[in-house]
Amino acid sequence: MNMSTSVSVWLAALVTIGLISFVFKENFYYRIVESLYVGVSAGHAIVLGWGNIRNLAIRPLGEGNVAVIIPIILGLMLFTRYFEKWHRVSRIPTGFLMGLGAGLSMRGIVGSQIIEQIKACYVSLNSINNILIVVGTFAVLSYFFFTVEHDGFVGKSATLGRWFMMLCFGAAYGSTVTGRISLFVGRLQFLLGDWLGILQ
Amino acid sequence: MLSKLGRIDSRVLYLILLIAFIVPLLCPLGLPMIISDEIKRTYDLIESLPEGSRVVVSFDLSPGGYDELAPACAAVFNHMAMKGLRLIGMSFWDAGPSLLDRSLAGSLYVDKEYGDDYVNLGFLAGGENAMAAAARDIRGAFPSDFHDNPTANMPIFEGVQSLKDVEMVIVVATGNPGVPEWIRQVGDPMGVPIATIVIAGLVADYAPYIQSKQLIGMIPGLRGAAGYESLIDMLGRGTAGLDAQSVAHLMILIFVLVGNIVYFAERSREKEESAKEGAA
């Protein structure tokens, strides 16, 4: 057994134990560690945000790139929301950001998440997997088809679609459990290996 | 007996689970492992790239998901370093760059030349918009790296203007912005192959992209790490942790099964009792 002498490893171990202590009972130690996590995350985000402002705005401006004045002004306009008289001005850069984001996403969504996914359903019905893909797609789409009553063939198809979705939710939930277990295994490997030195 | 099981303190279950985790970690069982096609395809793509090829690694993850993905990242980075591939790291999540530094320090890249064989460009705010900007002009979006070195004269960027000029993108993801945004902004419009190292909770979400071949490969969490370690013949924490994960899964299944048996037995007993009371 070769216990770590690193301050950072000890700190990480004590914080980990503090967070895990919640499963026993909510306690003072847990609340301190939780607040510490929130504070450190916020501080980290501010430092990195400042790095972005320095690299993409202040530094290029200092090098004579006057074009960055436009995004700098738009960025500063966002702060007008803190002044009652001028708060409407902040809607201009917000609208710009929304329009830009929506435009970029729409361009990609139509091609990547609609057309390509429809193309992926053009498969030969020569295997159980392929049959399941085609039947599952039609059944789930029919569940969300509200123009006609869900009875007869459409009703049966919609019910089948609901079953497919239930299976999908089950798979997603199972995957989430697996993920949480993986996280805990990682923390245990850290505690038993890096900190206590029991694992090699 | 059954009613006692139904009222068992959840902390007892936590203790049993903790023992189920620790015992296989201390005494590995060597349980069999299946390597999925998605893991194999990622391995094959990296294996097929010629020495000196540039691979973008986007570290879009939170510290909360890092432990699950760290073994897989170590395995993939070691494979890339052994193949002589050059790694361009970047992140669209604020915690990503620090975690990428940590991951690189634990891989074979630690012995390589910074700026020539690998680089950590740091964090760029703006989500998908920032991704699109980096895709068009990588050095314009990242004029300096995470350690404040200017990127203009870094040898790793010779001949690279946009992400069209790289051979592959690996997205290490715990959420959005992540894989769908990379597919929308780089994979589909630029034709760059994308693989992902992803938390197990997102596997079901991203499976359609595998089916449509918009994602070339997927390495899911600890299971993916164990599979990849086996492929590169460098067993590490993924393989060591897989036994613990499997035993924990088994315990959870037993808990669910016992919980359901108790529930239905109790319900049946209550029905019988109310039927008797009704008859009386």
Q: Distance from B1 to chain A by nearest Cα, in Å?
A: 25
| φ/ψ of residue B257, rounded to 5 | -65, -50
Assess whether pLDDT exceeds 90 at residue B3.
Answer: no
End-to-end CA distance of chain A: 9
d(CA B33, CA B35): 7
Q: Do B113 and B206 reside in the same domain of the chain?
A: yes
Same domain, B255 and B196: no
C-beta atoms surrounding A91 within 10 Å = 14
pLDDT digits (tens, 9 = 90+) for A130-164: 999 999 999 999 999 888 888 899 999 999 999 99
For residue A152, what is the enclosing H or E element? helix A152-189
Q: Residues B189, B94: one domain?
A: yes
What average pLDDT score do residues B246-253 get? 92
pLDDT value of position B5: 76
What gap in Å lies between CA B121 and CA B125, rounded to an integer? Answer: 12
Q: Are residues B217 and B94 in the same domain?
A: yes
* Burial of residue B106 (number of CB atoms within 10 Å: 0-12, 13-18, 19+): middle
Q: Which of B227, B248, B198, B194 is nearest to B16 (CA)?
A: B248
- How far does the CA of residue A113 sit from the closest CA of chain B (Å)? 8
Output the CA torsion A107→A112→A116→A120 (10° steps).
-160
Residue with tokens 């391995």: B43
DSSP classification of residue A150? S
Nearest-angstrom CA–CA distance, B112 and B118: 8
Same domain, B209 and B271: no
According to the model, what pLDDT value does residue A15 have?
93
Q: How far apart are CA B163 and CA B151, in angstroms?
A: 15
Indicate whether B218 and B248 sit together in one domain. no
The CA distance from B211 to the nearest CA of chain A, in Å, is 7
Of the partner residues B21, B123, B188, the one whose CB lies closest to the CB of residue A184: B21
Residue A108: closest CA among chain B residues belongs to which residue?
B184
Same domain, B182 and B256: no
Handedness of CA A116, A117, A120, A125 (dihedral sign): negative
pLDDT digits (tens, 9 = 90+) for A53-92: 888 889 889 988 899 999 999 999 999 999 989 999 999 9
Segment A16-26 mean pLDDT: 90
Domain that holds residue B265: 2-29+242-279
Instruction: Return the structure tokens found at A32.
Output: 């301190």
Mean of pLDDT values over B135-164: 92
> What average pLDDT does this structure show over B76-80?
97
Give the confidence band of B28 by pLDDT, cuts at 50, 70, 90. Answer: confident
What are the chain A neighbours of B26 within 8 Å (beta carbons)? 192, 198-199
Give residue B93's identity as a one-letter amino acid code. W
pLDDT of A200 > 70? The answer is no
- The DSSP-derived string for B38-104 is HHHHHHHHHHHSPTT-EEEEEEE--HHHHHHHHHHHHHHHHHHHHHT-EEEEEESSTTHHHHHHHHH
B204 pLDDT above the threshold of 90: no
- Split into its structural domains, chain B has a count of 2
Averaged pLDDT for residues B62-83: 93
What number of other Cβ atoms are within 10 A of residue A101's Cβ?
Answer: 15
Give, for A74, the enclosing helix (H) or strand (E): helix A69-77
When mean pLDDT is compared across A102-111, B101-110, B257-266, the lowest value belongs to A102-111
CATH number of the domain bearing residue B173: 3.40.50.10160
Q: Is residue B49 a contact partner of residue B167, using CB atoms and an 8 Å limit?
A: yes
Average pLDDT, chain A: 90
pLDDT (0 to 100) of residue B197: 96
Of A200, A194, A138, A198, nearest to A10 (Cα)?
A: A194
Domain ranges for chain A, please list them: 121-194
Residue B112's pLDDT is 95
Residue A5, classified by CB atoms within 10 Å of its CB into exposed (0-12), middle (13-18) or buried (19+), is exposed
Average pLDDT, chain B: 91
| Average pLDDT of the segment spanning A22-26 | 87
C-alpha pair distances (Å), A87 with each of A82, B252, B260: 7, 53, 57
A130 contact B CB<8A: no
Whether B225 and B248 share a structural domain = no
pLDDT of residue A137: 92
Are B221 and B246 in the same domain? no
Residue B276 is predicted with a pLDDT of 84
- Given the structure tokens 């460009």, which residue do they identify? B121
On whether the CB atoms of residues B164 and B114 are closer than 8 A, the answer is no
pLDDT band of residue B51 (cuts 50, 70, 90) is very high
d(CA B97, CA B25): 30
- Asked whether the beta carbons of residue A183 and residue B95 sit closer than 8 angstroms, the reply is no
Scanning A135-194 for CB atoms below 8 A from B yields 168, 171-172, 175-190, 192
User: Which pLDDT score is estimated for A49?
Assistant: 85
Same structural domain, B176 and B105: yes
Measured CA to CA, the distance from residue B173 to residue B138 in angstroms comes to 20
pLDDT, position A162: 95
Q: Which of B26, B143, B245 has the CB atom closest to A185's CB atom? A: B245
**pLDDT band per the 50, 70, 90 thresholds, residue B274:** confident
Residue B25 sits in the same domain as residue B95: no
Residue A24: band (very low, low, confident or very high) from pLDDT cuts 50, 70, 90: confident
Residue A174's identity, in one-letter code, is: G
Going by C-beta distance under 8 Å and a sequence separation of 6 or more, which residues neighbour residue A160? Answer: A135, A139
- Let me know whether B110 and B125 are in one domain: yes
Euclidean distance between CA atoms B184 and A109, whole angstroms? 7
Contact B26 A192 (CB under 8 A): yes
Mutation target to probe the A interface, by most A beta carbons within 10 A, among B93, B94, B250 is B94
In this structure, the number of other CB atoms found within 10 A of the CB of residue A99 comes to: 10
Contact call for A181 and B132, based on CB within 8 A: no
- Kindly list the strands in the beta sheet with B54-60, ordered across the sheet, starting from the edge strand earlier in the chain: B118-123, B86-91, B54-60, B168-173, B194-198, B217-220
Average pLDDT over residues B157-179: 93
Tokens of B143: 């004029």
Angstrom distance (rounded) from CA B201 to CA B221: 9
